[in-house]
Amino acid sequence: MKNKRIKSYRRAMQLYQSSFGFREPYQLLADADFVQSCVTQKMDVMARLHDVLQGAVKPMITQCCIQALYDAGEEAKDAVEAAKGFERRKCNHFKARKQDECMLAMAGEQNKNRYVFATQSLPLRESLRAVPGSPIVYIARSVMLLEAPSNQTLAKKRRMEESKLHVSAEELAQITGKPVPTPTPKTDEAAFADNAGPAGTSEPPQKKKKQRGPSGPNPLSAKKKSKPKSGDDNAGRRPSKRELEGQQSGEAEAREERAAKRKRDEEVKVVSLAVRNGVDTNGDRKKRKRRRKGGAGATEGADGAEAGAGDAGGDE
């Protein structure tokens, strides 16, 4: 039974560590009643806390909570002594508030300071369950216990895990080379897109573009492969008319494709030149200088090519 409990505590603390950044020594924020219970039951507080949290603990108490112990007077004398060994935590409550109120204020909405809350107040425990990543320690029948992670804690852990999975969508895009339609940092949006949302409809045209790319070089590569194959497999056999026709038509297709590609490239060049010119008129001086240099180099290259052609002609 006890081993089972230790296992579950270890699992719980691992969750708080991995998902909520808890680190030893754990900052344990105790309220007055918790300290009082420890004292009246003559508990070895530090040893029990170490057992329950499976690690080193730094006990703390807020100004409001130690004030409550002082206010209890003689009855809480030993508890005050015990609490004096705790680190005093500033809650900045100018006027001492009720313990539950002060502790909840320390937790805030996210328990940013990663406190472990030690309290005997049931309403406070209930309220703290709504704050994800808030471990709760309490004493029941002279046994110190750690509450199981609350539903809110588990839900947030799940959300964070899911968001981690979806962040990899961008990485996936990098790996596959597919452009991401819209960067979706929010998990909900990403999930929505996965379920064939509007982003899904925008993908097919992109896919078509992709298909057009490889379809160009494919016939060429297929033709290259077919030559040695036909030589190996049909060493003693003449290619049939059909095959020849097929090859010729294939070559014709390839030629057409190449011509089309050249045309496309030329168009792209023209467009880029037009764009350059457009930018030149608007662009800053630095850019213009660079481009002039580039232009000069290009003309020089052209001159050189012409000269080379002239030489070749002379040889003939």
Q: Compute how many residues bind Zn ion; rule: CB under 5 A.
A: 5
Q: What is the distance between the alpha carbons of residues 236 and 214, in angstroms, rounded to a whole number? A: 34
- Six token digits for residue 291: 């481009």
Our finding on whether 102 is near Zn ion (CB under 5 A) is yes
Stretch that binds Zn ion, among 27-35, 88-96, 123-131, 285-293 (CB under 5 A): 88-96
- Choice from 36, 37, 54, 62 touching Zn ion (CB under 5 A): 62
Name the one residue in this structure whose structure tokens are 């999975």: 165
Shortest Å, Cβ 66 to Zn ion: 10
Closest residue by Cα to residue 115 from 61, 154, 156 = 61
Say whether 289 sits in a helix, a strand or coil. helix
Our finding on whether 119 is near Zn ion (CB under 5 A) is no
CB-based burial of residue 308 (10 Å sphere; 0-12 exposed, 13-18 middle, 19+ buried)?
Answer: exposed
Q: Estimate to the nearest angstrom the gap between the alpha carbon of 12 and the chain centroid.
A: 24
Three-point CA angle 93, 98, 102, nearest 5°: 50
Question: Whose Cβ is closer to Zn ion: residue 84's or residue 229's?
Answer: 84
Q: Where are the alpha helices (DSSP H) in 21-93?
A: 32-40, 45-53, 63-72, 77-84
Shortest Å, Cβ 95 to Zn ion: 9
Question: Whose Cβ is closer to Zn ion: residue 105's or residue 191's?
Answer: 105
Shortest Å, Cβ 120 to Zn ion: 17
Stretch that binds Zn ion, among 86-94, 169-177, 218-226, 230-238 (CB under 5 A): 86-94
- Choice from 53, 57, 61, 64 touching Zn ion (CB under 5 A): 64
Shortest Å, Cβ 75 to Zn ion: 21
Residues β-bridged to residue 59? 28
Question: Whose Cβ is closer to Zn ion: residue 106's or residue 146's?
Answer: 106
Our finding on whether 69 is near Zn ion (CB under 5 A) is no
**CA separation, residue 120 to residues 65, 156, 258 (Å):** 13, 25, 81
Peptide bond into 183 cis (omega under 30): no
Stretch that binds Zn ion, among 20-28, 91-99, 155-163, 182-190 (CB under 5 A): 91-99
Shortest Å, Cβ 101 to Zn ion: 8
Residues β-bridged to residue 117? 29, 136
- Choice from 50, 58, 93, 159 touching Zn ion (CB under 5 A): 93
Which residues contact Zn ion (rule: CB under 5 A)? Answer: 62, 64, 91, 93, 102
